[in-house]
Chain A
Amino acid sequence: MKDRASVVIIGAGVIGTGIAYNLAKLGMTDVVLVEQKRYSYGSTGRCGGGIRQQWTTEENIRLAKASVERFERMNEELGIDIGFIQGGYLIPAFTEQEVRDYRKNMALQNSLGVPTEYMSSEEIKELLPMLNTEKMMGATFCPTDGHANPFAVTEGYAKNAKEMGVDMELFTTVRGIDVVDGAVRCVKTDRGDIETKFVVNSAGPYSPLIGSMAGLEMPNKPYRHEILATERFKHFLDTMIISFHHGLYFSQTTRGEIVGGIGNPSEKPGYNLSSSLDFAVRMASALIDFLPQFKNVNVVRQWAGFYDVTPDAKPILGEVDGLQGFIQANGYSGHGFMLAPIVTELMAELIVNGKTSVPIESMNMRRFKSRNMVQEANVVG
């Protein structure tokens, strides 16, 4: 392992590997990525893979749209099949209030160039005849939303970064960060120290722990989210279905499994990764409500991951006041996979050029001090 590098990235999720790739693309290859386990061990390998532009704040919509454009080109760019299915996201509304809110969101999305459309319950039935539309009052549908395989995207980033010269140190745990005169100096791992000027905190749900190694108190907290996969079926479902009303989402992967999850409002923050029977039962019942055929389907796996949640459900990006060289790229609050292509590109720009081509000021950690926050409402699960 190198004992000195221009940049040390912590975490080999989609964010860490994406930043490694984009740094290399900008010519910065004196980079070491350190990961305690293996690629996609964290939230990335546990996530639903959903990619949507139907957000409620301008920043998120812009970032998601820019990401979708990149996902569309990714197979070619990374030379790997990322399993991107652009079958749209359907967001059904179950109350009058939801209909009004979703229409308002749609107007904002449309104004930013996202082709979201409104569907009556009859139109939903036409799109997905199997769906139980009984209680649905309507829905928004964005045909360019979709989902992809997070393992493949991460592997693609890692493989290309490595080929361009980035060092990947797997099974290496960061234990401490030396700060001298308000600037980062050295990353200490269980396999040796690496002297550096830049540390990227892309440790996902573990990022507050990394922050505290550099003396920072961070506002994000890990919340367990559970998810399951059914047996495989021939492809029959293009659309990803999400219901903010139920906190539920599901889609069919290119392998044929239905993968989905449902939130648990009483979940407390903490590093608990166990799977619960309660989730399996709630999810199964909810799926049967949406698609009665699910009662004849077997679940083959369930697992849990963390949402890395900030107070306004938006990521923490960029430099930290008073701690030179420390770059935050975390706090994705359950939607970091879909934002990865654009965010990792911007983070690389910030490190190499000292500035970003799209402003990300509003995502800086200092917003939590000034209480200058705009809440993102469309968080699912």
Chain B
Amino acid sequence: MSENDIGTSRIDRHPILEFHRRKELTIYYHGRPILAYEGETVASALYAAGVRTFSYSPGLDRPRGLFCAIGKCASCVMNIDGISNVRSCITPVRNGMIVEEQKGAGTFPETTVGDYETASPELEADMVIIGGGPAGLSAALEAADLGMSVLLLDENHQLGGQLIKQTHRFFGSKEHDAGVRGVTIAKSMIEKVEASDKVSVLLGTTAFGYYPGGVIAAVKENKQLVKITGKRVLLATGAAENSLAFENNDLPGVYGAGAAQTLMNVYGVKPGDEVLMVGSGNVGVIVSYQLMQAGVRIKAIVEAMPKIGAYFVHAAKIRRFGVPIYVGHSIKRAFGNGKVEGATIVKLDDKWQPVPGTEFDVKCDVICLSVGLHPSYELMAQAGCAIKFIPELSGHVAVHNRNLETTVPGIYVAGDSSGVEEASIAMMEGKVAAISAAFSLGKPVGEKRKEADQMLEHTQKQLESLRDGPFGARGRNGKRKSFELYEQLTGARV
């Protein structure tokens, strides 16, 4: 454990963010007291204290660190207060918590203590929304505005989804919040949602199933079953980061770029000192820049394609700081004793094959993978929505029509979970889903209906214009495929 002991990596000064640390608490990691702040997760407190290994793999006993940092991969499971398989990256700290590495499969709990609630509340709303990212937030506000009662669920302990870590000024046009920082957009939407008397919010609550009769089952704080019935349901569950196949890709220190971003921008913890970024799309380049703002050195950016994927403005910023960008290169392996100490990079030929003899090493303590995300479609599949693999939407998605309704009537999707695009699109899709859902319930009426009709048309047009041009081609084609599949599968024309 002494190897893990590399001191604290709390960020104290940041050009954009201010970290207001709350009450100091103590958690115990293998008996060692560790400083934590109320409101943060077990993983972030441990990380700040230098812990890099959270678990060991069941088959080969390999050390595992964080990967997604948002509860979607199970790389970080630990024994907490005698209970195994707890995702430390989304578990808030509590004073006196006892935390241990998990070796392989969990241990059946020895303890019969621990609070759990036998009563399960039954809740109802016109519109139930799973996921409080930009898609869910925007849908909630729109639905409320159209007179629907809304129940908004998120498994995180704060609303905002991926937006709460986007410190950069957004790309896109003025009308679509371009130039405004993601965190600022999130803040304003969250404030409105919290102020609305039509929207109730349940945080720390994971929806795990859609049952016959339209009941959504969720578990609150890991100890209480909540049964929720919605006249309409929106699944806005976002996306999860992809991994990449290379030797030692599971070494602690290999993270999704979003995980590095979560650590530094949400919890104010520096992911490392020297980072190799794999992938030069917008996410890779933006996260690189944000890492530099947090005082981290970017050793290099590696890109398999022959040119940089990110928008010009973002790439230019990075270049100005003299960060080498290796296009036509890929990562061959990570190395290090129990944690990342460096990576071997190799040149690719025009058939994407490694060119022997072109390998070279880069010393670093973190490797960030920004090689795309895939939609979180599990709930849709379980609910019985038709699922198809649409490469342009970055993976499996629930087939949906222009109104974002899936093949199960009454279930809608929006945002990254319906195809990985961007926040502005997510917000508009949320709006479209909410309006369509309201219409299907005969809401609103009169003048308000006319306004809503116009709003729907306007938003659909905005979506089209956002997907216009070469950068929008993927989304445009992917969505077209989904709409066509919807027609084929349901026989309906929308």
Contacts and interface: CB of A to CB of B under 8 A. Distances in A.
B105 interface: yes
B212 interface: yes
A297 B227 contact: no
Interface in B93-107: 104-107
B80 to A, nearest CB: 11
Interface stretch (B111-119, B178-186, B234-242, B335-343): B111-119
A234 B107 contact: yes
B106 A233 contact: yes
B108 interface: yes
Nearest to B114: A296
A296 B109 contact: yes
Interface string A273-293: 011110011000100000011
B110 A293 contact: yes
B108 A236 contact: yes
Nearest to A232: B105
B225 A297 contact: no
Chain B, interface SS category: loop
A236 B109 CA distance: 11
B215 interface: yes
Interface string A288-328: 00001101111000000000000000000000000000000
Contact of B106 (A232, A277, A280, A281): A232
A237 B107 CA distance: 11
B311 interface: no
B324 interface: no
Chain A, interface SS category: mixed
Given A275-B211, A295-B116, A234 B105 contact: yes
A256 interface: yes
Contacts of B116: 295-296
B85 interface: yes
B106 A234 contact: yes
B83 A296 contact: yes
A255 B119 CA distance: 32
Given A232-B58, A275-B211, A277-B211, A256 B105 contact: yes
A117 B441 CA distance: 63
Contact of B108 (A280, A285, A297): A297
Contact of B109 (A232, A274, A285, A297): A297
Interface residues of A, number: 20
A3 interface: no
A293 B108 contact: yes
A176 B113 CA distance: 58
Contacts, number: 55
A94 B58 CA distance: 38
Interface string B280-313: 0000000000000000000000000000000000
B167 to A, nearest CB: 34
A180 B287 CA distance: 74
Contact of B112 (A237, A285, A295): A295
Contacts of B114: 295-296
Contacts of A293: 108-112
A361 interface: no
B55 interface: no
A292 B111 CA distance: 8
Nearest to B219: A298
Given A232-B58, A234-B104, A276 B111 contact: no
B105 A296 contact: no
A283 B83 CA distance: 21
Interface centre among A232, A236, A276, A277 (most CB of B within 10 A): A277
Contacts of A280: 209, 217
Interface centre among A293, A295, A296, A298 (most CB of B within 10 A): A296
A190 interface: no
A281 B225 contact: yes
A159 B108 CA distance: 35
A126 interface: no
A231 interface: yes
Nearest to A237: B108
Contacts of B82: 296
B110 A277 contact: no
Given A274-B212, A276-B212, A231 B106 contact: yes
B262 interface: no
A271 to B, nearest CB: 14
Contacts of B83: 296
A295 B111 CA distance: 9
B84 interface: yes
Contacts of A236: 107-108
B388 to A, nearest CB: 19
Nearest to A233: B108
Nearest to A231: B85
Contacts of A275: 209, 211
Contacts of B209: 275, 277, 280
B60 to A, nearest CB: 15
B243 to A, nearest CB: 21
A356 B58 CA distance: 46
Nearest to A272: B212
B290 to A, nearest CB: 34
Nearest to B215: A277
Interface of B: 58, 82-85, 104-112, 114, 116, 118, 120, 209, 211-212, 215, 217, 225, 227
Given A237-B108, A256-B105, 10 more contacts: A231-B106, A234-B104, A234-B105, A234-B108, A276-B211, A277-B227, A281-B225, A293-B108, A296-B82, A296-B116
In the A-B complex, list the 6 residue pairs whose CB atoms are closest, starting with the nearest. Answer: A292-B112, A296-B109, A233-B108, A277-B211, A232-B105, A293-B109
29 contacts: A231-B84, A231-B85, A231-B106, A232-B85, A232-B106, A233-B105, A233-B106, A233-B107, A233-B108, A234-B104, A234-B105, A236-B108, A277-B211, A277-B215, A280-B209, A281-B120, A293-B108, A293-B109, A293-B110, A295-B112, A295-B114, A295-B116, A296-B82, A296-B83, A296-B111, A296-B112, A296-B114, A296-B116, A297-B109
